[in-house]
Amino acid sequence: MAKQSSVLLIYTGGTIGMIEDAHTGELKPFDFRSLTKQIPELTKFDIHLSAISFENPIDSSNMHPDVWVELAGIVKKNYNLYDGFVILHGSDTMSFTASALSFMLENLDKPVVLTGSQLPIGMIRTDGKENLITSIEIAGTKSKGKAIVREVCIYFEYKLYRGNRTIKYNSLHFDAFRSPNYPTLAEAGVSISYNTNALLKHTGKVLKVHTNLENDIAVLKLFPGISRQITSAILQSPGLKAVILETFGSGNASTEPWFLNEIKQTIAREIIILNITQCSEGKVMQGKYETSSQLKKLGVIGGADLTFESAVAKLMFLLGQKLTKTQIKKKLLENLRGELSN
């Protein structure tokens, strides 16, 4: 007889964990020890479910690398005790957290599923119940005694996505997330259909948890008419170690001499510049047009189809590994956790 799966539910905060106070009408976190009272369907699972909650749940707008370190630590501490993990998280920064955890949890061999909701779980029309129930089912599902999903994911509105491929694109509809350049990992209908070809494969290696992150990163989003003064102020920020350059189309930028000179001087100070596109779909192809070939010649790193969220997380992760600038540049071009297309 197959061993019952076990899943650890981790509540960080966010809309999903809110209920409406009957007297004041205000939304407040509910006690997750009484989770089955809110969602009695959970008692029908053949899954052993445990839940822990942050002592002070946070809105996801206050998400911080320190919280990512705490989450990675919880997974590490409980890794051998559970078959999977479900993290309840506010949707606004969920893609950042999923991306960060994907890099921090090297050789992950169990599912870590982030989910949340657009409406509080205590409301009649909430999307939170389905998101939570299916996330738990995915986290506890095995095939031949082994987990089907072995990576950090986001489940929302009937779809499972690779976490470091997602963006939040809608604040009003239940289908809040998209994975612009990578297929969904699974879709939930009458049954859950897994896209096995899209899932990360088992590495056979021991889990390695990285907790050193550095956030000395700036973002320079280009627009027609951006001034030299503002550009210079960003690129010359004290303590700066890396810049995410959000360019046009397939990685294109101004060829005005002052702009290229600012880029050149920044790279000369051994600051890494990573070029990602402002487009939701597609990728950076430095050198395809003259307006990007200059960036390539100056030493700007082409970010291919990295999402902005994944670019932030990957840079924080690599900067925290105390690698040389050359090693970081090389790693940025490598597909470490499925964040880049081959």
Q: Tell me what pLDDT residue 36 has.
A: 64
Q: Is the fold of 5-209 the same as that of 217-332?
A: yes
**Average pLDDT of 180-197?**
96
**43 an active-site residue?**
no
H-state helical runs in the chain: 35-38, 65-78, 94-104, 128-140, 228-235, 257-268, 290-298, 308-319, 325-332
Choose, from 12, 15, 134, 277, the residue flagged as catalytic: 15
Which stretch of 50-64, 96-110, 119-133, 144-158 has the lowest confidence by average pLDDT? 119-133
pLDDT above 70 coverage of the chain, percent: 94
Pick the CATH number of 5-209 from 3.30.360.10, 3.30.365.10, 3.40.50.1170, 3.40.50.720: 3.40.50.1170
Per residue in 313-333, pLDDT (tens digit) is 999 999 999 899 999 999 999
Per residue in 63-109, pLDDT (tens digit) is 999 999 999 999 999 999 999 999 999 889 999 999 999 999 999 99
Domain segments of the chain as ranges: 5-209, 217-332
Alpha-carbon separation of residue 56 from 59, 146, 163 (angstroms): 10, 34, 25
pTM summary value: 0.94
Q: Tell me what pLDDT residue 1 has.
A: 45
Pick the CATH number of 217-332 from 3.30.43.10, 3.40.50.2300, 3.40.50.40, 3.40.50.1110: 3.40.50.40
